[in-house]
Amino acid sequence: MTDLFQRKSLSLPDGNLSYLAGPYTAGRPNLNFIHATGFNANTYISVLEPLTRYVNIYAPDLRGHGLGTLHNDPGLLGGNWEIYRQDFYRFLDFINEPIYLVGHSVGAAISLAGAVHRQDLLRGILLIEASLPAVGRSAENPFKITTLPEAARKRRKHFPSRQVAIKNYFGKGAFQTWQTRAISDYINGGTITLDDGSVELSCNPEWEATSFEAAERNPWPVIRKVTCPIMLIHGNRNSTCEPSGVEYFKKIQPSAQIIQISNASHFLPLEKPDLVVKAALSLITDKPYNERVMSRNENTN
């Protein structure tokens, strides 16, 4: 984590929700970013850091991820993501200011729910690699029919040091397309130091696997209810945005900006963070995505 961000916590009935907060300037737009399953807020520092020039940043760690202390028995997931939604509703109510929401994967689904929960606060929402199933196949879970739950359960949890953990992930599996910094940020925001100096992943592999298996496959009722400006960006390979799902999204949100990013996958924020920054600024400034990224001297008011 850079010096730009403070690690803070919000007390909830069964523990603390941990979150990153960027420099706060009254009168600037607020933006909340929610990470994907298995990751944490710090993983996305390469996206969040440039945005601090323009907006007040909030980035919570979902329950069972990052550095929070909320109860994380996998049975709490109950076959859906409702517990993530309830935690986020409390977080949004805590912020209680006009806000833009940005979410990656499960973070997109939880952001959509938040946009409906507090329509009075919402100024816009950016969905990154949301789960948009092929029309007619809403019952299928893309994470159950892949190896993601199995891989999560096999994930190595304990390492002699953070440096060893970082080295372990370079060039492997889903991490092979990530920018180098993103892997370091993932480990730094998602490991706990033990008494002997070794570290372990803070996201229990069983929690991560169960979260994948709990993925919900009917986003359409919530998407229909969103009334604020909405934008979708997705990769052109290994994406959870099925082509017919994207077309249906266009049908029910005809004013949405939809951008497909070339040479990017489901992990596009960690592959091409600069393009995610550009998309977020497009939403905030209400300019088309192909506009240049704002300079330091411009503002979003």
pLDDT in tens, 163-219: 999 999 998 888 999 999 999 999 999 999 999 999 999 999 999 999 999 998 899
pLDDT at residue 141, rounded to an integer: 53
Is 235 part of a structural domain of the chain?
Answer: yes
Is 186 part of a structural domain of the chain?
Answer: no
Q: Are 59 and 19 in contact (CB under 8 A)?
A: yes
Give the global pTM.
Answer: 0.93
* Interatomic CA distance for residues 80 and 82, integer angstroms: 6
Domain that holds residue 111: 6-154+208-285
Count of domains observed in the chain:
1
Q: Does residue 143 register a pLDDT over 70?
A: no
pLDDT at residue 147, rounded to an integer: 78
Is 56 part of a structural domain of the chain?
Answer: yes
pLDDT at residue 1, rounded to an integer: 62
Is 166 part of a structural domain of the chain?
Answer: no
Beta strand extents in 30-171 (DSSP E only): 30-34, 56-60, 99-104, 122-128, 158-159
Residue 271 banded pLDDT, cuts 50, 70, 90: very high
Q: Does residue 144 register a pLDDT over 90?
A: no
Is 164 part of a structural domain of the chain?
Answer: no
Task: Tell me the average pLDDT of the chain.
Answer: 92
* Nearest to 151, CA basis, from 142, 159, 163, 143: 143
Is 200 part of a structural domain of the chain?
Answer: no
CATH number at residue 254: 3.40.50.1820
Is 171 part of a structural domain of the chain?
Answer: no
Residue 3 banded pLDDT, cuts 50, 70, 90: confident
- Could you tell me how many residues make up the chain? 301
Is 281 part of a structural domain of the chain?
Answer: yes
pLDDT at residue 298, rounded to an integer: 42
Q: Does residue 70 register a pLDDT over 60?
A: yes
